Amino acid sequence: MIKPILLMASCVLALVSANVSADPIVIKFSHVVAETTPKGKGALMFKRLVEERLAGEVRVEVYPNSTLYGDANELQALQNNDVQMLAPSMAKFDAYTKQLQVFDLPFLFDDLEAVNRFQKRSQGRHLLRSMEDHNITGLAYWHNGMKQLSATQPLRRPEDARGLAFRIQPSAVLEAQFGQLGAPTQKLPFAKVYQALASGTVQGAENPWSNIHSQNLHSVQPYITESNHGVLDYMLVANNRFWYSIPHRVRVELETIIDEVTYEVNKEAEALNQAHREQIMRSGKAQILTLSSEERMAWREAMRPVWKQFEPVIGADIIRAAERVNH
Ligand code: LMR
């Protein structure tokens, strides 16, 4: 009788110690925006669903607002596996692939629905794999929204921007876009934007409503032109080697969660931006200028030469595919 009892006891011990030694996989997810924005909410929803469905197996730590890494070093940290997931805007990948610059071309996409269609088609899906040589794998596209121009003075026509310095993300396309307007640019990390505008280092910027609102940029930019001139979207990325080292069953569950989060982020992004637009308007701190179709056309014409300039770099086929998604 003694033997089976001993055997059972040692089995229980083995099980307990197996559980203790199986540490959960830790995913550090770092980003640069507030938790009230589409990306901030998406990161938190990802963490919540992983906690519900993969408790004890995977732990997600979210670091918002550039608290762990900022624009200057987060992609390097991802490649070093110091963080495992990020969702930088497309412009931030400039050093790794030129193809993603398509997303920054001014007036290419009419609205977020068009962006959606492009991302779902083969050219868009293919771009998720464009940085694997750099140990970066694309998992999904997350929307923020269309960008608006803000400045210390009203911008109604393209010539109003001449000579004003604009903060831009680190993108050659965005530099060229403002170059077309005769406006100098400074590439600054997102965490520095408020200070640069408040101190007058730069006089203008381009952001979706949620970023303007969450950074309180409207308190230092008295005029915001509802230009919808380009899109600010994200690619959810992971360290490639880390991602494919995750046991298959767990990775499939993570991918299912990512699909659900992506659906929610992209469904809510536009409404969230509109709510933030309303709050900016009600704050009375900045005046929102809407453009007539003739004024909007003038901005489009002024910025459009950038397409030709970047066609050889991005690829004519990718630009044509993006153009076709507008109705
Ligand atoms: C910016 O730098 O303006 C944006 O990319 C920030 C963000 O992540 O939305």
- Rounded to the nearest angstrom, the distance between the alpha carbon of 289 and the centre of ligand 1 is 22
- Rounded to the nearest angstrom, the distance between the alpha carbon of 206 and the centre of ligand 1 is 10
Indicate which residue's Cα is closest to atom 2 of ligand 1.
190
User: pLDDT tens, 108-134?
Assistant: 999 999 999 999 999 999 999 999 999
For residue 21, pLDDT beyond 70: no
Atom of ligand 1 nearest to the CA of 234: 8
Task: Identify the architecture of domain 20-324 in CATH.
Answer: 3-Layer(aba) Sandwich (3.40)
For residue 11, pLDDT beyond 90: no
Burial 35-65 (b: 16+ CB within 10 A, else e): eebbbbbbbbbbbebbeeebeebbbbebbbb
CB of residue 168 inside a 6 A radius of ligand 1: no
Phi, psi (deg, nearest 5) at residue 232: -115, 105
In the structure, what pLDDT confidence band is assigned to residue 22 with cuts at 50, 70 and 90? confident
Residues 31/85, Cβ–Cβ less than 8 Å = no
pTM of the shown model: 0.92
Atom of ligand 1 nearest to the CA of 189: 2
User: pLDDT tens, 216-232?
Assistant: 999 999 999 999 999 99
Which amino acid does the sequence have at 265? Answer: V
CB of residue 142 inside a 6 A radius of ligand 1: no
- Rounded to the nearest angstrom, the distance between the alpha carbon of 57 and the centre of ligand 1 is 31
In what order do the strands lie in the sheet containing 185-187? 185-187, 166-168, 204-207, 148-151, 223-226, 287-290
14 vs 126, higher pLDDT:
126
Mutate to test the pocket of ligand 1, among 29, 30, 31, 33 (most ligand atoms within 8 A of CB): 33
What's residue 327's pLDDT? 78
What's residue 275's pLDDT? 98
Burial 181-194 (b: 16+ CB within 10 A, else e): bebebeebbbbbbb
Using only the alpha carbons of the chain, give its radius of gyration: 23
What's residue 12's pLDDT? 47
Residues 197/220, Cβ–Cβ less than 8 Å = yes
Indicate which residue's Cα is closest to atom 6 of ligand 1.
190
Q: Extract the tokens encoding 257.
A: 């969660």
